[in-house]
Amino acid sequence: MENMPLITHVILTGGVGSRLWPLSRKSQPKQYLNLFEGKSLFEMTVERNRTIADKIMVVGNIDNCHLSRQVMEKSSTPYLDIIESTPRNTAAAIAFAAFASQPDDILIVTPSDHIIDGIEPYETAIHEAVEKASKGFIVTFGIIPTKPETGYGYIERKGDDVISFREKPNKVTATDFIAKGNFLWNSGMFCFKASVLLEELKKFYPEVYEKSKIAWDSNINGNLDLDLSLEIPSISIDYAVMERSKKIKVVSSTFTWSDLGSFESVYDYLVSKGHPVDLNGNMVIGTENYTAFVGLKNTIFVYTDTANLILQKERSQDVKNIYSELERQHSDLLN
């Protein structure tokens, strides 16, 4: 009897979550905030795939690996740690995970900062993806959209074939996508055989392949050298492989999914879980202090020890402008 391929859950933990400042900081990015029923998004990501995967790899950076380690130790889950000395985007992060695997291992790659509800459709989608991956396809997960969301990329498809990947649209384009009916939200989750992903990366972006391999081959206990890492072009897996390869399939699903990329999506999620809002839809996050809103509607008040944020819910994409401004000032408030 031939060996069944091992299924590895690869968790990408590199993001900073700048649109969720001041909750999300460099020292405590959004995937580690215990905001969600006392758990962090990272912890929920580990739990969600525990029954599906044989092993876990965590690809993170030198600044946040101790936070991942705390969660993994708390649940006493064995895992392989890949620690990047500097962020090099998702193409390199995923290449490292593939180099660390056996050629026939099937990798399920997920971000660590997304929320997913509806475990049955999720598991069905994963099993379908594993089946396609074992036949040599690179599988991407598309979510059947519930509204013309402008904060997500889209996948245009025919059946399980991908016609095109689309950047985040404006409202008019997004509404058009929904009307056409064959567009899915791009969840940023993937499934593939390690060897297939590496072959495609080598074919379409040999420089990322070669430089990632050099960095990986000289890793020490999963820690990657800074100088070798800086040689790797910083590009996304979408651009390096997904938009070029002829081996892409999409699995479409209806599980509830959000990248919680903005306070608007956090607000919607917290409301669905019973977090209090006043009669005018105003919400407080981060403090039990009595807080009154006068003459305001759909306002979110975010409290932290060193910074507060007050925003109109529908302007939540603009928070990244504050983050950029504080970055220009080299402010300690980002740490």
Are 93 and 123 found together in one domain?
yes
Would the pLDDT of 138 be above 90? yes
Tell me what pLDDT residue 3 has.
Answer: 60
Task: Tell me which residue range forms the domain holding 312.
Answer: 263-334
Tell me what pLDDT residue 18 has.
Answer: 84
Q: How many domains does the chain have?
A: 2
141-185: pLDDT as tens digits: 999 999 998 889 999 999 999 999 999 999 999 999 999 999 999
Tell me what pLDDT residue 27 has.
Answer: 84
Tell me what pLDDT residue 273 has.
Answer: 87
Are 36 and 66 found together in one domain?
yes
Q: How confident is the model at residue 335 (pLDDT cuts 50, 70, 90)?
A: confident
Are 154 and 248 found together in one domain?
yes
| Residue finishing a domain among 214, 232, 258 | 258
Are 306 and 176 found together in one domain?
no
Would the pLDDT of 298 be above 50? yes
Tell me what pLDDT residue 137 has.
Answer: 97
Are 181 and 272 found together in one domain?
no
DSSP state letters, 178-205:
HHHS-EEEEEEEEEEEHHHHHHHHHHH-
Q: How far apart are CA 146 and CA 164, in angstroms?
A: 20
232-271: pLDDT as tens digits: 999 999 999 999 999 999 999 989 898 888 999 899 989 9
- What is each CA distance from 89 to 123, 178, 229, in whole angstroms? 27, 29, 11
Are 125 and 237 found together in one domain?
yes
Return mean pLDDT, the chain.
Answer: 92
| Residue finishing a domain among 258, 285, 309 | 258
Backbone angles phi, psi at 94, to 5 degrees: -75, -35
Are 248 and 273 found together in one domain?
no
Tell me what pLDDT residue 51 has.
Answer: 86
What CATH number is associated with residue 89? 3.90.550.10
Q: How many CB atoms lie within 10 A of CB 182?
A: 12
Q: How confident is the model at residue 107 (pLDDT cuts 50, 70, 90)?
A: very high
Are 247 and 275 found together in one domain?
no
> Quick one: how far is CA 227 from the chain centroid?
26
Would the pLDDT of 1 be above 50? no
Tell me what pLDDT residue 155 has.
Answer: 96
Are 129 and 63 found together in one domain?
yes
In a domain, 233, yes or no: yes
In a domain, 17, yes or no: yes
Q: How far apart are CA 231 and CA 97, in angstroms?
A: 18
Q: How far apart are CA 259 and CA 262, in angstroms?
A: 8
Would the pLDDT of 289 be above 90? yes
